[in-house]
Amino acid sequence: MKFLTKITFFFYREYKLNLSGVQDILTNIIFFFVSIFIFIFSIGPDKETISLIGIGILWTLLLLSSTLSLRKFYQDDFENGNLLIIHLNGFSYGFIAILKTLSHFIFVQIPFLLSIPIACILLNISNEKLIYVFTSFTIGSLILSCLGSISSSMNLMNQRNYLLGSVIVMIFSVPIIIFSVGIINLEENFYSLTNILFGILLIVFAINPWASGLCLKLSLENN
Amino acid sequence: MIIVKDLSVERLNKKIFENINLSLTSGNITILKGKNGSGKTTLLKTILNIIEPSVGSIYWKGKLLKKNLYDFYSHITYIADKTSSLTKLTVKDNISIWSKIFLSNINNSQIETALKTLKLEDHLNQKVGTLSFGEIKKLEFLRLIIENKKVWFLDEPLSNLDEYSIELIKQTFEDHVAKEGSIIFSSHQNPGIYVTEEINL
C-alpha cells in the first residue's frame, strides 16, 4: 500500500513539474500547428492532395514534436540529483524508467492527442477516419515515449551530442509510422495492423525498463 | 548498523581510495575528511551502492548490503553537495512534494517551526531558483526533518553556510545522535562537531 501511495505521489510531483513548465508543452503544440500551416501553404490549396498526404504529415510532425521534448525526459532530474533521491526512496532504476515513460505519455503526448481533431480539420481528414487516427496515435505515441526514454537515458552518458537521441528515435520509429499510416489508409486491415502495432508497443515496453534502467544506473555511477 | 570492510574504488584505472574500513552504529557520527577530489563523495556513493567498489564489502544490519538494499534505503536520508530542490517550484511546493513522496509523518506545525528556525518562513511562496545558495542549502536540510530517518548521509553539509547555520547544524546533529540516530558526513574541515570516527582520505 505504501508503495502504491509513493507511486501516486510520484505522479503528483510530475504533474507539479509539468504544470510549472506548461509553456514548454504549449510551445511543442504551437510548433506542431505552425508546421501544419507551413505544409499547407507549401502544398497549395488543393484539398485532395492535402487529404492524401495529411496522415503522413501528422505523423512526421508528431515525431518531430516528440523529439523536441526528449531533452527534458531525464536531464533535469539527473542534473539536480532527483533521480538518485527517487532511487533511494525505494524505486529501482527500471521502475523509474516505467514511471517516467508513463508520465511523459500523460503530460506530453496526451495534449498532442487532444489537439489531433483540430489538426485533422486543417488537413482535410474525414471524420470517419478520426477513430483510426486516434487508435494509431495513442499506441504510436506510447511507443515513442518508450523509445524516448531509452534514447534520453543513453544521452545522459553522452552529454556532448544531444541530437544522437533524436536520430535513434527517428530510425526506430520508421516501422511504427509504416503500420500507423497503414491503419488509417487500409481500413480493411485495421485489426491486423493494430495488433502488429500493439505487438511493437509490448516489445518496446518490455525492453524499456531494462535498457533505460541500465543506462540510468551507469550514468549515475559515472556522474 | 553499517560496516565497511577493506573498501577500494578504482575508476578509469585510477585508484580513488583503498582499504577503507569503518563502522557506523546508533548514536555515532563519522566524518570523511580530505582535499577536493580525494574521493569523499565517491565513498559516500559507494556505501549507498550507487558506485560499484573494486574490492571490499559493505554490510547493513549484519547482511551484505546488496541483499538488504531496499531495507537500507528505507532507513537513510542522503543530501548531496548540490541542490535537489526543484528550482522552478516554490519552497512550499517543494516541501509539499517531499512530504508526500517520502510519506512523511511530520505535521505542518513541526515544518513551520523548522522553517522559522532555518529563517525561511518568509520565503514560503518564493521560487527556489530565486533563493540564495545558502538558503537553498538550508531548505535542503529540511528534508532531514521531513524524511525523519535514522541514518543521515551528508555530502559537504557545511559549505556555503553562515556561522548561525553551522551552529544550527551542530545542534541538529547533537539532537539526532541523542535520539539514537547516526550520521556520516564529508567535509574539508570540522568546525567543532563532536565525531566518533574520522576517516582521512
Contacts of A90 in chain B (CB under 8 A): 70, 73-74
Does residue A148 contact residue A104 with C-beta atoms inside 8 Å? yes
Out of B51, B74, B101, closest to residue A9 by CB: B101
Distance CA B198, CA B29 (A): 9
Phi-psi region at B80: left, alpha or beta (left = phi > 0; alpha = psi -120 to 50): beta
Q: How confident is the model at residue A62 (pLDDT cuts 50, 70, 90)?
A: confident
In degrees and rounded to multiples of 5, residue B107 shows phi and psi of -90, 170
Contacts of B93 in chain A (CB under 8 A): 16
> How remote is the C-alpha of B60 from its chain's centroid?
17
**Residue A1: pLDDT over 80:** no
Beta-carbon separation of B86 and A90 below 8 A = no
Q: What is the pLDDT of residues A16-35, one digit of tens each?
A: 888 888 888 888 888 889 99
CB neighbours of residue A189 within 10 Å: 13
Q: Which of A6, A15, A88 to mutate to test the interface with B (most CBs of B within 10 A)?
A: A88
> How remote is the C-alpha of A31 from its chain's centroid?
15
Q: Which of A7, A89, A218 to mutate to test the interface with B (most CBs of B within 10 A)?
A: A89
Minimum Cα–Cα distance from A217: chain B residue: B50
Q: How confident is the model at residue A209 (pLDDT cuts 50, 70, 90)?
A: very high
Distance CA A134, CA A197 (A): 13
Q: Which of A2, A3, A16, A22 to mutate to test the interface with B (most CBs of B within 10 A)?
A: A16
Distance CA A49, CA A51 (A): 5
Note the pLDDT of residue B193.
80
Q: How many contacts does A have with B, using Cβ atoms within 8 A?
A: 61
Note the pLDDT of residue A108.
87
Of B107, B110, B168, the closest CA to residue B137 belongs to B168
Decide if B87 touches A, using CB distance below 8 A. Answer: yes
Distance CA A69, CA A71 (A): 6
> How remote is the C-alpha of A169 from its chain's centroid?
10
Of A4, A7, A203, the closest CA to residue A106 belongs to A7
Decide if B200 touches A, using CB distance below 8 A. Answer: no
Minimum Cα–Cα distance from B70: chain A residue: A90
**Residue A205: pLDDT over 90:** yes
What pTM value is reported for the model?
Answer: 0.90
Grid coordinates of A28:
511543442
Enumerate the β-bridge partners of residue B64: B59
The mean pLDDT value of chain A amounts to 87
Note the pLDDT of residue A219.
92
Report helix angle A47-68 to A110-122, nearest 10: 160
Tens place of pLDDT per residue across chain B (201 aa): 889 999 999 888 888 888 999 989 888 999 998 888 888 999 999 999 999 999 999 999 989 998 889 899 999 999 998 888 888 889 988 998 888 888 888 888 888 888 888 888 888 889 998 988 888 888 888 888 888 899 999 998 888 788 888 888 888 888 899 988 999 999 887 777 888 888 888
Beta-carbon separation of A90 and B73 below 8 A = yes
Output B153 or A45, whichever has higher pLDDT: B153
Distance CA A9, CA B18 (A): 40
Looking at the structure of chain A, the number of domains it has is 1
Note the pLDDT of residue A106.
93
Q: Tell me which residue range forms the domain holding A71.
A: 2-221
Q: How confident is the model at residue A44 (pLDDT cuts 50, 70, 90)?
A: confident
Distance CA A26, CA A24 (A): 5
Contacts of A213 in chain B (CB under 8 A): none
Out of B52, B70, B84, closest to residue A82 by CB: B84
Min Cα distance A144 → chain B (Å) is 26
Q: Which amino acid is at B168?
A: L
Beta-carbon separation of A221 and B50 below 8 A = yes
Q: What is the pLDDT of residues A93-143, one digit of tens each?
A: 999 999 999 999 999 888 888 888 888 888 888 888 888 888 888 999 999
Q: What number is the ipTM of this complex?
A: 0.90
Distance CA A57, CA B18 (A): 59
Decide if B54 touches A, using CB distance below 8 A. Answer: no
Say if residue B200 is exposed, middle or buried (CB neighbours under 10 Å; 0-12, 13-18, 19+): exposed
The DSSP code for A172 is: H
Output A68 or B73, whichever has higher pLDDT: B73
Does residue B153 contact residue B44 with C-beta atoms inside 8 Å? yes
Beta-carbon separation of A90 and B93 below 8 A = no
Does residue A104 contact residue A149 with C-beta atoms inside 8 Å? yes
